[in-house]
């Protein structure tokens, strides 16, 4: 039986290029899992094993690896930093107990670090901070920690201080023990000496030691009181307080170093052991009832409980379908039969493996706290609960963002349709933010995703991994429709054609709902003019029409319907008659209620060198952007704006041209907003033309 207090399930997350994958490589090297370190820029890192990842030097899917440090078992997940793959970060955080937030020493807190930090806050994941790349030009540890305070609203607890900066960075001072760790120039992680603090840093170390101890002891009133009265706390007491504060998210132990140059990594690994929680120390996952609400019970992390686990990722590789599972309670043995609480079907566990990124080690059993992969599960999808058939339970499911961009694709050769269908089916199972549908009128296959890069990579995977060459159409924006004013209306459905007829009369109000409320229905009928048993049919009729608006056939958002009167016939009225009446009412009334087209607005974050700020802002204004914020940093300026998605296609090319290749940007969906009249007219005309052509 493994000791759960020696488990650490951690994720590594940050902005693109802050050095997450390199940090993971160093962890694997230090823990003896790999003997030759692979570099991202050579396309040889262990966790970036997809062709597309090696080529582009970015992480696309989260990879899981297991390793040991000081007799503690680490399950590490290296997550992507790119905004188009946020879903990978989100679902990884869901099953982790702790994390390492990596920040670039010169770039500081960048757009995607904010998004990932927000996700980690929502998931209440304890973290340590690692300020990386301190050997780079423009690196400044103290500026980055200040940004963590200001931009993220987090409290960094500074545990190490850098010795030298940029080219002269050679080691770190451990504030807690007041010792200096100095590495030599061989670049080997084990070649370091522990010395006294350099003379010019003694005062600074004392100052930070005082701050560290005071902040830590706030977690224990008695110790703080004794400290105020001049009694020095023991190292064990301080560590215990840091551990408690880290777990309660009161502060985040902050380390510095250079993963690429192998400096400072050991202290980060020690921090994972010392300060991040084990599976038993994290608040247990809530269980859900059939309606999807919390039922007051929890998945207690213990091997004595019945088996409960969450499938958080599906991956298809050369060995077949892999289902990544985080086990919360109980044990799982090879050959066990488990229940999928979502589908109600049972499956037998044939093979279980422990993942080493692209390699795997066969397992015969696993237990609470483990992150493993099960081979060959049939109908399991991301977010499904797997449990003991005798004790069915449901864990809190995952919520995924809806795609905002789509492209039409078709195979280059006629015989490719079936091949494409099978491949896309596998890819949709792997990535819940990637969706596919068939346009009924044209028969085209429509791929939907989170951004241009997201879809670009999907098309690339189809071509290389599955051998399907595609003809790709222009990117399309996911518009929506809504209404702008309240109206009262009445609709009667009657049909008489021999035998029993159909009759349903409804009087109703339709008005704009709250933003992001979707569709809401209520009935205030009194006196039985529309009998209660027909109300659900009226609601169903209206709701079924929300998927296609009257302007250009886009889904309708934020509508509130109130049924306040009507009429029925003792013989001819039925649920179906009232449902048909509601559908007719929708078609009749939405045009009268000021139908309006909505477009997706993106939160855009642009980084540009100072001398190009004017050009970038001018260009964003031309793209109908609303400026939100502008922030000068050491190496350039960050501009935040809200810009319609339809204006952002191909933006990276324009930005590179404007900034001589030095600009960067990221964007994520923010909200839907009304389209200007001229844009709406163009979109509606184009949709009508499309339909006419079909």
Q: Would you list which residues are annotated within the binding site for GTP?
A: 14-21, 78-82, 132-135
Structure tokens at 677: 């009249």
CA distance 478 to 406: 7
Q: In three state form, how does the secondary structure of 167-222 look?
A: HHCCEEEECCCCEEEEECCCCCCCCEEEEECCHHHHHHHHHHHHHHHHHHHCCCHH
Measured CA angle at 363 (ends 359, 366), to 5 deg: 120
Are 572 and 503 a contacting pair, CB within 8 Å? yes
595's enclosing H/E stretch is: strand 595-608
Strands (DSSP E) found in 233-319:
252-256, 285-288, 294-299, 308-317
| Other CB atoms within 10 A of residue 226 CB | 15
Distance (Å, whole) CA 635 – CA 577: 67
Annotated binding site: 14-21, 78-82, 132-135
**Burial (CB count within 10 angstroms: exposed 0-12, middle 13-18, buried 19+), residue 660:** exposed
Distance CA 518, CA 384 (A): 25
Residue 505 and residue 500: Cα distance in Å, rounded? 17
Q: Classify residue 525 by its DSSP letter.
A: -
Instruction: Burial-class residue 640 by CB neighbours within 10 Å (0-12, 13-18, 19+).
Output: middle
Nearest to 600 by CA among 674, 546, 549: 674
Question: What is the per-residue burial (b if ≥16 Cβ within 10 Å, else e) of 68-89?
Answer: ebeebbbbbbbbbbbbbbbbbb
DSSP string, 363-395: ESEEETT-EEEEES-SS--TT-EEE-TTS---B
Tallying the residues shown for the chain, one arrives at 694
CA distance 42 to 50: 13
DSSP string over 649-667: TTHHHHHHHHTTT--EEEE
């Amino acid at each position: 039986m493994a000791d759960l207090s020696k488990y650490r399930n951690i994720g590594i997350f940050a902005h693109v290029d802050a050095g997450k994958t390199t940090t993971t490589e160093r962890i694997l090297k230090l823990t003896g899992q790999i003997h030759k370190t692979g570099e991202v820029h050579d396309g040889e890192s262990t966790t970036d094993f997809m062709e597309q990842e090696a080529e582009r030097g970015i992480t696309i899917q989260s990879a899981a690896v297991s390793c040991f440090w000081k007799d503690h078992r680490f399950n590490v997940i290296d997550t992507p930093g790119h905004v188009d793959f946020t879903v990978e970060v989100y679902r990884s955080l869901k099953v982790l107990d702790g994390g390492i937030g990596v920040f670039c020493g010169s770039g500081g807190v960048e757009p995607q670090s904010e998004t990932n930090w927000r996700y980690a806050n929502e998931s209440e994941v304890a973290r340590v901070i690692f300020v990386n790349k301190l050997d780079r030009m423009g690196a400044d540890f103290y500026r980055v920690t200040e940004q963590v305070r200001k931009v993220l609203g987090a409290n960094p607890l500074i545990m190490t201080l850098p010795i030298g900066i940029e080219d002269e960075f050679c080691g770190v001072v451990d504030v807690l023990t007041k010792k200096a760790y100095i590495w030599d120039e061989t670049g080997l992680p084990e070649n370091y000496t522990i010395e006294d603090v350099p003379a010019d840093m003694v005062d600074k170390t004392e100052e930070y030691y005082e701050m560290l101890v005071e902040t830590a002891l706030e977690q224990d009133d008695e110790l703080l009181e004794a400290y105020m009265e001049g009694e020095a706390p023991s190292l064990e007491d301080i560590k215990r307080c840091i551990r408690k504060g880290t777990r309660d998210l009161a502060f985040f132990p902050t380390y510095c170093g250079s993963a690429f140059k192998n400096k400072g990594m050991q202290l980060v690994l020690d921090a994972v052991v010392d300060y991040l929680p084990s599976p038993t120390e994290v608040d247990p996952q809530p269980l859900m009832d059939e309606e999807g609400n919390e039922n007051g019970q929890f998945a207690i992390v213990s091997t004595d409980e019945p088996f409960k686990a969450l499938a958080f990722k599906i991956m298809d590789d050369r060995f077949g379908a892999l289902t990544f599972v985080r086990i919360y309670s109980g044990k799982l043995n090879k050959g066990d039969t488990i229940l999928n609480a979502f589908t109600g079907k049972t499956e037998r566990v044939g093979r279980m493996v422990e993942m080493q990124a692209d390699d795997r080690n066969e397992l015969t059993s696993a237990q609470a706290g483990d992150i493993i992969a099960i081979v060959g599960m049939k109908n399991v999808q991301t977010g499904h609960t797997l449990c003991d058939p005798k004790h069915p339970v449901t864990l809190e499911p995952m919520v995924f963002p809806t795609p905002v961009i789509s492209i039409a694709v078709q195979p280059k050769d006629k015989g490719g349709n079936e091949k494409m269908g099978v491949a896309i089916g596998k890819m949709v199972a792997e990535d819940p933010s990637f969706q596919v549908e068939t346009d009924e009128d044209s028969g085209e296959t429509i791929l939907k995703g989170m951004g241009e890069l997201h879809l670009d990579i999907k098309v690339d995977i189809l071509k290389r991994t599955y051998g399907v060459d595609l003809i790709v159409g222009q990117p399309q924006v996911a518009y929506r429709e809504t209404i702008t004013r309240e109206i009262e209306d009445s609709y009667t459905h009657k049909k008489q054609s021999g035998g029993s007829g159909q009759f349903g009369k409804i009087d109703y109000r339709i008005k704009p709902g709250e933003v992001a409320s979707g569709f809401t229905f209520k009935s205030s009928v009194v006196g039985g003019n529309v009998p209660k048993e027909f109300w659900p049919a009226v609601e169903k009729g209206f709701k079924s029409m929300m998927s296609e608006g009257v302007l250009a056939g886009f889904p309708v958002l934020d509508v509130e319907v109130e049924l306040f009167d009507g009429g029925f016939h003792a013989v001819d009225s039925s649920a179906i008659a009232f449902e048909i009446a509601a559908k007719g009412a929708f078609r009749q009334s939405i045009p009268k209620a000021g139908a309006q087209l909505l477009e997706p607005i993106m939160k855009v974050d642009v980084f540009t060198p100072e001398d190009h700020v004017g050009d970038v802002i001018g260009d964003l204004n031309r793209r109908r952007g609303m400026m939100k914020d502008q922030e000068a940093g050491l190496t350039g300026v960050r501009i935040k704006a809200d810009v319609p998605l339809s204006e952002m296609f191909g933006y990276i090319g324009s930005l590179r041209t404007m900034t001589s290749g030095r600009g960067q940007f990221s964007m994520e969906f923010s909200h839907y907003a009304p389209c200007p009249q001229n844009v709406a007219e163009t979109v509606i005309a184009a949709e009508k033309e499309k339909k006419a052509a079909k």
